[in-house]
Amino acid sequence: MAADVIHLDARGLEPPQPMIRIVEALEALPAGAELHARTDRNPVHLHPFLAERGFLGNSTAAPDHEYGFLTIIRRAG
């Protein structure tokens, strides 16, 4: 379990702003913490970026579409 969870709400932003905000948050992500990012759209372009930079991420759609997608990101290893 992560020591800290950082929440980022990027809903209502036009592309590429959600990805920019997520990347900025990752730059400051403390060791052992997770970033929980909420977006309106599935951040498909984010996942290759994460893999290249040593992060693991998983995006899931909210079953009720209350918030679109939740992406949970943490450092690999």
pLDDT tens across 6-54, in order?
A: 999 999 999 999 999 999 999 999 999 999 999 999 999 999 999 999 9
Contacts of 31 (CB under 8 A, 6+ apart): 75
Q: In 1-77, at which residue ranges do the beta strands (DSSP E only) sit?
A: 5-9, 34-39, 55-61, 69-75
pLDDT of amino acid 3: 62
> In the chain, where are the structural domains located?
5-65
pLDDT of amino acid 62: 80
**Residue 59 confidence (pLDDT) above 70:** yes
pLDDT of amino acid 65: 63
Contacts of 23 (CB under 8 A, 6+ apart): 49
pLDDT of amino acid 66: 72
CATH number among 2.60.40, 1.10.10, 3.40.1350, 3.30.110, domain 5-65 = 3.30.110
pLDDT of amino acid 40: 94
